[in-house]
Amino acid sequence: MAKRITILGSTGSIGQSTLDIVRNSLKGMFEVVALTANKNAKLLAEQAIEFNAQYVALSDSSNADILKEMLKGLDVKIGTGPESLIEAASYKTDFCMAAIIGAAGLEPTLAAVNQGINIGLANKECIVTAGDLFTQRVKEKRSKLLPVDSEHNAIFQVLDIERPSGVRRLILTASGGPFRSTPINEMRMVTKESALRHPVWSMGAKISIDSATLMNKGLELIEASYLFNRPSKEIDIIIHPQSIVHSMVEYIDGSILAQLGSPDMRIPIAYSMAWPDRMNAHVDRLDLTAMDNLNFFKPDLNKFPALNLARFALETGGTAPCVINAANEVAVDAFLQDKIEFLDITRLIDGVLGKYSSRADFKTEMSTIEEVISKDNEVRKVATENIKKLI
Ligand code: NDP
């Protein structure tokens, strides 16, 4: 029987790779039920036609006419506006790929969780923002989180969840991004174009900038803590420029188990889609004999303060991860719009965190998703005001 799937954010980098897996899979293995996008009506319509989707949702309705025109006469239901994403996610399917960028993915992903559907979790911002509330809901609804971030997918594959006391630490690897070797005194001058040019991975704009500041690794640190129920002190980050070892688990006897693979997101995506089985991801096979070196270094925390900020947020708990994520989203957006410089991104996040710590309100636990969304909105306003002061 075909696995029925929904893709939230099908027009993005992860969304398109997910559809690539479907395209190359055995006939009848997957049935695409619903697809969503924000603005890209043209690609969404093309995908709906190619994959015979039953429902398409466009969050920003300004391009709705394009979608309706392209799908005229076809048996595809069309939804527009943010509510349509909830409708798409609520279709009773077997698997939902959560690949919207940012905290905007939280409510649609939760709508899928509410149906007890297994989630391919690419959208790390939703777990960083809502933390235990998110993982608690997953448990209550008997949904299952299948991590798609390559690091978390690697850990998921090598972690012995039946015997947690045997685990000493999780080791997240990081490529180091485009500025790994850039001298600290040249970081001020880096351009948007160079920040977007990741040396190994081809990804959407926001995660590419997060990879350049290393905030992506910071968000992954928080994500790993919630996903695998480990405190900050049991999660290390090391730089591994080749991105071949996707992450590791160290056990108390000194064994380290790692997952290796070509740096191609279709591997963890295929893993999450086929789970608990495996399928051919149609990617380049890793030729270990063709490799010169696999290098590992400690990250430079002076050059990449985002790592310390994220660790601070994780260790502080309460609202801090939600605050850091919202501030980061606003700062990255401003950088992508050429409103601020590269180093302003972490400076801005630091400033927003500082404003909150003086009010000691990190300790306030958020008890509902509505409170999470309200905190996220509040921080966005604070961060936007702070940006106005910078320009
Ligand atoms: P992209 O920017 O490439 O795609 C984002 C998708 O979300 C698009 O379909 C976009 O629609 C949609 N979208 C954007 N804003 C909104 C909104 N406000 N409401 C609803 N939908 C929206 O992102 P990526 O695919 O790179 O990343 C997606 C997630 O996966 C992120 O959380 C990222 O951290 C994570 N991830 C990505 C990796 C990668 O290799 N790209 C690797 C590991 C994790 P539209 O096209 O219309 O704008």
Is residue 198 over pLDDT 90? Answer: no
Is residue 254 over pLDDT 70? Answer: yes
Average pLDDT of the segment spanning 253-260? 98
Query: Does pTM top 0.95 for this prediction?
Result: yes
Q: Which atom of ligand 1 is nearest to the CA of 15?
A: 25
Please report which confidence band the pLDDT of residue 391 belongs to, taking 50, 70 and 90 as the band edges: confident
Q: If you take atom 39 of ligand 1, which residue's CA is the nearest one?
A: 203
349-355-357-363 Cα dihedral, nearest 10 degrees = -90
> What residues does 4 pair with on adjacent strands?
31
- The answer on 178 and 88 residing in a single domain is no
Q: Output the pLDDT for position 355.
A: 83
Which string of DSSP letters, residue by residue, matches 54-118? SEEEESSGGGHHHHHHHTTTSS-EEEESHHHHHHHHHS--SEEEE---SGGGHHHHHHHHHTT-E
Query: What phi and psi values does residue 378 have, to the nearest 5 degrees?
Result: -65, -45
80, 96, 100: which to mutate for ligand 1, most atoms within 8 A of CB?
100
Is residue 360 over pLDDT 80? Answer: no
275 assigned to some structural domain = no
Ligand 1 centre to CA of 202 (Å) is 13
Q: If you take atom 16 of ligand 1, which residue's CA is the nearest one?
A: 38
279 assigned to some structural domain = no
- The answer on 215 and 171 residing in a single domain is yes
> What residues does 245 pair with on adjacent strands?
260
Average pLDDT of the segment spanning 294-321? 96
Q: 209 in ligand 1 pocket by Cβ < 6 Å?
A: no
Q: Report the domain count for the chain.
A: 2
Could you tell me what percent of the chain has a pLDDT over 90?
A: 93
Ligand 1 centre to CA of 101 (Å) is 4
Least confident of 50-59, 182-191, 299-308: 182-191
Q: Which atom of ligand 1 is nearest to the CA of 38?
A: 47
- The answer on 182 and 97 residing in a single domain is no
- The answer on 195 and 323 residing in a single domain is yes
Q: Which atom of ligand 1 is nearest to the CA of 206?
A: 2
Could you tell me what percent of the chain has a pLDDT over 70?
A: 98
- The answer on 126 and 25 residing in a single domain is yes
Query: What phi and psi values does residue 199 have, to the nearest 5 degrees?
Result: -70, -25
56 assigned to some structural domain = yes
Average pLDDT of the segment spanning 144-149? 98
61-75 confidence digits (pLDDT tens): 999 999 999 999 999
Average pLDDT of the segment spanning 155-171? 97
Q: Output the pLDDT for position 359.
A: 53
Is residue 361 over pLDDT 70? Answer: no
CATH number of 94's domain = 3.40.50.720
- The answer on 129 and 171 residing in a single domain is no
- The answer on 126 and 37 residing in a single domain is yes
207 assigned to some structural domain = yes
Q: If you take atom 32 of ligand 1, which residue's CA is the nearest one?
A: 123
Q: Output the pLDDT for position 358.
A: 56
63, 156, 207: which to mutate for ligand 1, most atoms within 8 A of CB?
207
277 assigned to some structural domain = no
Q: 261 in ligand 1 pocket by Cβ < 6 Å?
A: no
Q: 16 in ligand 1 pocket by Cβ < 6 Å?
A: no
* Rounded Cα–Cα distance for residues 258 and 30 (Å): 30
- The answer on 361 and 230 residing in a single domain is yes
Q: 201 in ligand 1 pocket by Cβ < 6 Å?
A: yes
Q: If you take atom 42 of ligand 1, which residue's CA is the nearest one?
A: 149
Q: 207 in ligand 1 pocket by Cβ < 6 Å?
A: yes
Ligand 1 centre to CA of 8 (Å) is 9
Average pLDDT of the segment spanning 127-149? 97
- The answer on 340 and 243 residing in a single domain is yes
94 assigned to some structural domain = yes
Query: What phi and psi values does residue 246 have, to the nearest 5 degrees?
Result: -85, -15
Cis before 147? omega within 30: no
Range(s) of the domain holding residue 312? 163-261+290-390
321-342 confidence digits (pLDDT tens): 999 999 999 999 999 999 999 9
Q: 81 in ligand 1 pocket by Cβ < 6 Å?
A: no
165-191 confidence digits (pLDDT tens): 999 999 999 999 999 999 999 998 899
Ligand 1 centre to CA of 357 (Å) is 30
Chain mean pLDDT for the chain? 96
Q: Would the CA dihedral through 8, 12, 17, 23 be positive or negative?
A: positive
154 assigned to some structural domain = no
211 assigned to some structural domain = yes
Q: Would the CA dihedral through 380, 381, 387, 391 be positive or negative?
A: positive
Q: Position of tokens 């960083």?
A: 128
Average pLDDT of the segment spanning 46-64? 97
- The answer on 136 and 86 residing in a single domain is yes
- The answer on 178 and 253 residing in a single domain is yes
